[in-house]
Amino acid sequence: MNINSKIEEQQKFFDSGVTKSLNFRISALKKLKEAILFYEEDIYLSLKTDLNKNRQEAYMTEIHMVLAEIQHTLKHLKKWSKPKRVTSGLLNFPSKAFIKTEPYGIVLVISPWNYPFQLLFSPLVGAISGGNCVILKPSEISEATTEVSIKIIERAFEPNFVSIIPGGVDVTTELLSQKTDYIFFTGSTMVGKIVAKAAAENLTPVTLELGGKSPCIVDKGCDLKLAAKRIVWGKLLNGGQTCVAPDYLYIHNDVKEQFINLFIKYAKEFYGEDPGTHDHYCKVITKKHYDRLTQLLKDGKVIYGGGVHKENQKIHPTLLEDCPQDSRVMTEEIFGPIFPIITFSNIKEIPVYVKKSGKPLALYIFSKNIKNIGYIVEHTSSGGVCVNDVISHLVSSNLPFGGVGDSGTGAYHGIDSFKTFTHNKSVLYKGTFDPKIKFPPYKNETSVIKLLKKLL
Ligand code: NAD
């Protein structure tokens, strides 16, 4: 069946109104949970194949995130879906006003390869909760996870409700040329621009979950041991292929050497002397991505790591210094286990530097100095900020997750997913009374204007 007829089928089903019912949406989310659990072992296997992702990491960062999102949504969906009564203003007297959420219709979800399960299924939870039909386009690069995703979707849903269309640029281009009602894209900033242009052609609303260079600031006087442990964990999670991974280290001069020693200590503690052979260390997804990262190794002086394993596409955790500001490693999103270091002596230097790479998706600061933390939060703009930890801010269902400017538009998770995938429709029930002054010909204009001003 071609893409056009799949969309037509979904349109028919959406128009039947079935997907709007709360019971249908709840039951769909339960079916999704059942299918995920049914194929849980296959998901672990596929993530191992695609990224050498360890079982526990796979559960924590992919499966659990989706199951938790389903649980949270099931718990709150009834409340979120209720029309909200609001006051309608004196000029509308007598009347009743409501905000009613309604689904957009057919939602297109395009996902990347780095968290290939979570980033396909988490938006799906939001789209279903809003009452939409969904077309999923997973990444062509994480093939094994796409295979199991197809099985999960086919077990849980009819294609006229949720359909999965695998493929590369050609398929995505074809999908983008069709009229859908919402596009939810997760991927690179470069492709985000292509998606935004295509969406503009049809005036389709769009969420862009993009990437960028997320700075990791380490201040003097912070708990350096804790900082190093958490940063090593977050930087090396998924082999550094995380959109919110600390991209570069921005550290106070006075604590640089101490931090480097601690970084090395924890990198060895977590992944051994030779991470290339460690079973819990993720590989770089493809040869092409591996080649790009090995080129970035040349952009500075290696002060730790630098080892590469072509046969299994692994790159050792690597610290770089003396990287020219205009080098690729300092201007491109790294998306791998390479960590360039720059230093500061005055906290006020930081916002100016951070701004140069556009607004980041995440910003991290490790500090005990409340004034310094406040200064950075106040003087930088980013999708989110996490103080004294990395990545954890996106685990909370109560915090919206998304970028700003170069790192994206829109947000999701928890209630923000529901808001993203629904339109707020204003509904006003008007009474029969009409004041005479409303209709032309207007008399006593001055006194009416005076009266209206008084009512402000
Ligand atoms: P990508 O932009 O290359 O691909 C994402 C999706 O777009 C894939 O499904 C792919 O098939 C499709 N695509 C690729 N090229 C296209 C084109 N020319 N036209 C139309 N569609 C195209 O991204 P990726 O390499 O899969 O993922 C890595 C990027 O995603 C990084 O920049 C990372 O920061 C970002 N990311 C962001 C988030 C977030 O939540 N903000 C999460 C994960 C990854």
DSSP 242-288: -TTS--EEEEEGGGHHHHHHHHHHHHHHHH-S-GGG-TTSPPPSSHH
Predicted pLDDT at 298: 97
Cα of 190 to ligand 1 centre, how many Å? 8
Cα of 432 to ligand 1 centre, how many Å? 54
Task: Using the predicted structure, report yes or no on whether residue 1 has a pLDDT greater than 80.
Answer: no
Out of 141, 164, 172, mutate this one to test ligand 1's pocket (max ligand atoms within 8 Å of CB): namely 172
Cα of 51 to ligand 1 centre, how many Å? 16
Q: How is residue 369 written in tokens?
A: 């100095």
pLDDT tens-digit series, residues 412-425: 999 999 999 999 99
Average pLDDT estimate for 137-161: 98
| Structure-model confidence comparison of residues 314 and 455, the more confident one | 314
Cα of 138 to ligand 1 centre, how many Å? 10
Choose among 363, 348, 455, 370: nearest CA to 407: 363
Is 209 tagged catalytic? yes
According to CATH, the topology of domain 215-397 is Aldehyde Dehydrogenase; Chain A, domain 2 (3.40.309)
Out of 3, 114, 359, mutate this one to test ligand 1's pocket (max ligand atoms within 8 Å of CB): namely 114
Q: 412 with 186: CB under 8 angstroms?
A: no
Q: Determine the atom of ligand 1 nearest the C-alpha atom of 189.
A: 32
- Domain 3-210+406-425: give its CATH superfamily: Aldehyde Dehydrogenase; Chain A, domain 1 (3.40.605.10)
Q: How many helices (H) and strands (E) does the chain have?
A: 17, 18
Distance separating alpha carbons of residues 316 and 283, to the nearest angstrom: 10
Choose among 57, 43, 46: nearest CA to 278: 57
Pocket of ligand 1 (CB under 6 A): 110-114, 119, 137, 139-140, 168-169, 172-173, 186-188, 191, 194, 209-211, 243, 333, 335, 361, 403, 408
Choose among 158, 103, 90, 96: nearest CA to 131: 103
Is 41 tagged catalytic? no
pTM for the full model? Answer: 0.97
Distance separating alpha carbons of residues 321 and 209, to the nearest angstrom: 30
pLDDT tens-digit series, residues 268-298: 999 999 999 999 999 999 999 999 999 999 9
Predicted pLDDT at 91: 87
In the chain, pLDDT over 70 holds for what percent of residues? 100
Task: Using the predicted structure, report yes or no on whether residue 70 has a pLDDT greater than 80.
Answer: yes
Q: Which amino acid, one-letter code, is at 281?
A: Y
Choose among 331, 270, 330: nearest CA to 305: 270
Cα of 305 to ligand 1 centre, how many Å? 28
Lowest mean pLDDT segment, chosen from 8-12, 111-115, 120-124, 272-276 = 272-276
Q: Determine the atom of ligand 1 nearest the C-alpha atom of 190.
A: 2
Cα of 211 to ligand 1 centre, how many Å? 9
pLDDT tens-digit series, residues 168-183: 999 999 999 999 999 9
Out of 243, 391, 420, mutate this one to test ligand 1's pocket (max ligand atoms within 8 Å of CB): namely 243
Of the residues 69, 209, 222, 282, only one is catalytic, namely 209
Secondary structure letter of residue 173 according to DSSP: H
Sketch the domain layout of the chain as residue ranges: 3-210+406-425, 215-397
- Which position has the token pair 């990224």? 51
